[in-house]
Chain A
């Protein structure tokens, strides 16, 4: 037993636990149940409900097990007459003014108050007076209903708001018997993580409005699956009944979500039953009579038939025009299995390396450890680069707040815009929009000089960060001992991502430094897509195209070894008529890629465009043929989160529609591949065999809480000639930064979304200097133009970025903000004028 452990006795059983453990948690270890209402392991002790009374030897009065730290040789008793009387008394008080509406309460069947009363309470009540008549069901927000009569004032929810979400939006109002949970001036409780209060409410006071009166909890089929919105891959339980969606709840996994989910994860599920869902294979009529090599589909053709025809058509085009004439734009939202099979279809089946899934630059692998999300808590410093977790990866936001406020972690950030987490950081440095590469290099060089590594004597840094600030950041990084670098590759322009990798290499050179990184792209499975080789220059598992010998060894003599086209290059080739056929899986280049109208024009020039997606998109409209993809809720497979954790997404809802992996399997069969996967785990098994880093991944190892994949080897990042230098803007134009907004009104959160109340108008955020120069005042309507596209927005003069830039949060598809960026994917320069 170490000095940090304590041995005590609970109900005659000895237990050894770490110092600082609460008695109630120590008891759990030896299966002694101490009932609680207010205590929640993640929130910490409150001492409000008094349910956990226990007797402790040498203490005259009953103690609350949730507030008491264990002590050596402590003797705790939980079943003595004194305890039993105390528990009964507390329960009687708790139930005194609690309505007995259990028969119609949504919490019924999973209610700690019911359970504790059943186990520890008296069979009847001595209360014979009027119970308090507090307000019954009233909306706390459009998605949460509060029943103040059922509230037992345990303060779990308000403590959650204060300690976990840390915005104190939900508070205790009034005093004493008139205590109530509420918000400021009865405004809706509309935070990013509000729904967690439903999960933690120990009674039926806070309920999920959409689930109210829909089903009894014991009638639900609960599927332990994953949220598919962002790269965190939080664990959720999806409740369904008779194949109908009922609700989503958090399913705690400390390695991923720490027990919480964001509101998008909980309520952003309408896409599963959207009217825009693609449910059949269809051929679009080609209005302009352009030639198509695609045979006309028979009426009512099955998805399987359509898939077969797609494969034949691609095969034909590849044979006629060469493998370089076909391409694939895959999805950072697809599962590993789908992504793996598609790259196999194109590489193995068609011999093409024209495979990609993104419009920014990145390569697989890290030169340092790949940290899991939980490592944020144990790092001394977290360095955020171009990352805005609050909007991009919400659960990471909570984890960082926890690290800073409870674990002594220091947060520092390098970004081109102000972010919500700045209030937690000890240093937030802002570089000018588009100047990330310079800022990062300056940091790397600063470190190099401290370490005596080769570096320019001085940096002519034009990024807008003062030498003094940079020096201080260098010092923070250098002396951190353990640092976790969180960077968002999708928010880095040009080749800045390679700068980050050089920085990581440099940090790793600091003596005794523990350095890890989290590549924090916001998309569900961005990491998995790279791991699965949805890249023009890498085979799965980070196998570089330059390693031809290994490729041939692994993938056969016929495996293509020439670097393929990136997604943006494919579009460019299509524009020139050189790319003939393109398959787009769960991606919407028309809306999401830079290039604006040019993307549409380019895609129209293709001989064959096939879109395999779950929802109708602008790209699907242009397609010759559309295949349905099941998507989250209905699909199954694994995804790899930002921390490298591979977890299983399971299907909660049945559909007769063929799953994506089966469709791709069929397509492979048409090309002569005889593999016949019976279930998705067969694909997972093949991944384990063929993808370095995934050897240990199996249905079993992934289980309920996931399994970390091994690090992917890192390619040499020092050379890259692929960078696109941002040109000079015209006089007076501003560099555009498109920011992520969590509740964007897009295909996923459509107009019927439960979260529509979060939608924001289009805004453009200016530095006051630019605003003054352009004569713009806060609240003015402005027009941003570039690439023949105009975007109207409300001006906000809030210094969100340095002068010379403008930040536009992507708030809706309608806004079409990506169209402002040039087709080369470089930094966009926009002209701004007041309307």
Chain B
């Protein structure tokens, strides 16, 4: 299986990653993260490329990859919305806000908008309980959500 190669820049980054650990195997999550962030998914081809770097079987890469929720087999949108639905957010009305968000995006929870801009996922506690309800879009945390605030945030993203 071919079709995936690391860019020169990524190769450099991979070297830096390997340098952090006395054993190569620890680089598994960082490499998967590198791919996920670049490709918005981890394709089988990428898993093969990672397995070669890691000197392990591609099945092993997939085994690890499929354990963690931040890696996706299917491509996700440009903006990955993780909407917390755990207890503190639930107590603060996240369910309705999630429904609102889905409606605003015109998709169901778990789906990606046709233009691949947004993916909306239900997420377990993200550790911003004191500002519940909250969501995380890509690397940014947004707390104290209201319908109005969600609208503003989504509109501000291009």
Partners in one complex: yes
In the bound complex, CA of A175 to CA of B71 (Å)? 12
Contact pattern, A 145-188, Cβ under 8 Å of B = 1, otherwise 0 = 00000000000000000000001111111110000001111000
In the bound complex, CA of A167 to CA of B61 (Å)? 12
B59 interface residue per 8 A CB criterion = yes
- Do residues A173 and B66 form an inter-chain contact, with CB atoms below 8 A? yes
Q: Per a CB cutoff under 8 Å, which of B44, B59, B61, B67 touches A169? A: B59
Contact pattern, A 482-494, Cβ under 8 Å of B = 1, otherwise 0 = 0000000000000
Closest A residue to B45 by beta carbon equals A185
Q: Hey, which chain B residues are within 8 Å of A185, CB to CB?
A: 1, 44, 47, 58, 62
Q: How many residues of B contact A (CB 8 A)?
A: 14
Closest B residue to A161 by beta carbon equals B59
- Do residues B66 and A168 form an inter-chain contact, with CB atoms below 8 A? no
Q: Hey, which chain A residues are within 8 Å of B61, CB to CB?
A: 184
Closest B residue to A180 by beta carbon equals B66
Closest A residue to B1 by beta carbon equals A185
B4 interface residue per 8 A CB criterion = no
- Do residues B57 and A167 form an inter-chain contact, with CB atoms below 8 A? yes
Contact pattern, B 58-72, Cβ under 8 Å of A = 1, otherwise 0 = 111111001110000
Q: Per a CB cutoff under 8 Å, which of A175, A182, A184 touches B67? A: A175
Contact pattern, A 305-335, Cβ under 8 Å of B = 1, otherwise 0 = 0000000000000000000000000000000
Q: Which of A167, A168, A174, A183 has the most CB of B within 10 A?
A: A168
B29 interface residue per 8 A CB criterion = no
Q: How far is the CB of B79 from chain A (nearest CB, A)?
A: 25
Q: Which of B1, B44, B62, B63 has the most CB of A within 10 A?
A: B63
- Do residues A184 and B66 form an inter-chain contact, with CB atoms below 8 A? no
- Do residues B63 and A172 form an inter-chain contact, with CB atoms below 8 A? yes
> With A184-B44, A184-B47 known to touch, is A170 a contact of B66 (CB < 8 Å)?
no
Q: Which of A168, A182, A184 has the most CB of B within 10 A?
A: A184
- Do residues A175 and B66 form an inter-chain contact, with CB atoms below 8 A? yes
In the bound complex, CA of A235 to CA of B71 (Å)? 45
In the bound complex, CA of A173 to CA of B67 (Å)? 7
- Do residues B59 and A174 form an inter-chain contact, with CB atoms below 8 A? no
Closest B residue to A189 by beta carbon equals B59
B56 interface residue per 8 A CB criterion = yes
Which bracket fits the contact residues of A? 10 to 19
Q: Hey, which chain B residues are within 8 Å of A174, CB to CB?
A: 66-67
In the bound complex, CA of A174 to CA of B62 (Å)? 9
Q: Hey, which chain B residues are within 8 Å of A182, CB to CB?
A: 59, 62
In the bound complex, CA of A1 to CA of B146 (Å)? 73
In the bound complex, CA of A168 to CA of B61 (Å)? 10
Q: Hey, which chain A residues are within 8 Å of B66, CB to CB?
A: 173-175
> With A184-B47, A185-B44 known to touch, is A171 a contact of B56 (CB < 8 Å)?
no
Closest A residue to B63 by beta carbon equals A171
- Do residues A168 and B56 form an inter-chain contact, with CB atoms below 8 A? yes
Q: Hey, which chain B residues are within 8 Å of A169, CB to CB?
A: 57, 59
In the bound complex, CA of A175 to CA of B60 (Å)? 14
- Do residues A171 and B62 form an inter-chain contact, with CB atoms below 8 A? yes
Within 8 A of B (CB), among A216-234: none
In the bound complex, CA of A175 to CA of B68 (Å)? 8
Q: Per a CB cutoff under 8 Å, which of B1, B44, B59, B68 touches A171? A: B59
Q: Hey, which chain A residues are within 8 Å of B62, CB to CB?
A: 171, 173, 182, 184-185
Q: Hey, which chain B residues are within 8 Å of A173, CB to CB?
A: 62-63, 66
In the bound complex, CA of A205 to CA of B114 (Å)? 39
In the bound complex, CA of A377 to CA of B92 (Å)? 62
Q: How far is the CB of B44 from chain A (nearest CB, A)?
A: 4
Q: Hey, which chain A residues are within 8 Å of B58, CB to CB?
A: 184-185
In the bound complex, CA of A783 to CA of B47 (Å)? 36
Q: Hey, which chain B residues are within 8 Å of A170, CB to CB?
A: 59
In the bound complex, CA of A684 to CA of B53 (Å)? 56
In the bound complex, CA of A184 to CA of B42 (Å)? 13
Closest A residue to B59 by beta carbon equals A184
Q: How far is the CB of B28 from chain A (nearest CB, A)?
A: 12
Q: Hey, which chain B residues are within 8 Å of A183, CB to CB?
A: 59
16 contacts across the A-B interface (CB closer than 8 A): A167-B57, A168-B56, A168-B60, A168-B63, A171-B57, A174-B67, A175-B66, A175-B67, A182-B62, A183-B59, A184-B57, A184-B58, A184-B59, A184-B62, A185-B44, A185-B47
8 other contacts beyond A168-B60, A169-B57, A184-B58, with CB at 8 A cut-off?
A: A168-B59, A172-B63, A173-B66, A174-B67, A175-B67, A182-B62, A184-B47, A184-B57
Which 8 pairs between the two chains have the least Cβ-Cβ distance? A171-B63, A184-B59, A184-B58, A168-B60, A185-B44, A168-B57, A171-B59, A173-B66
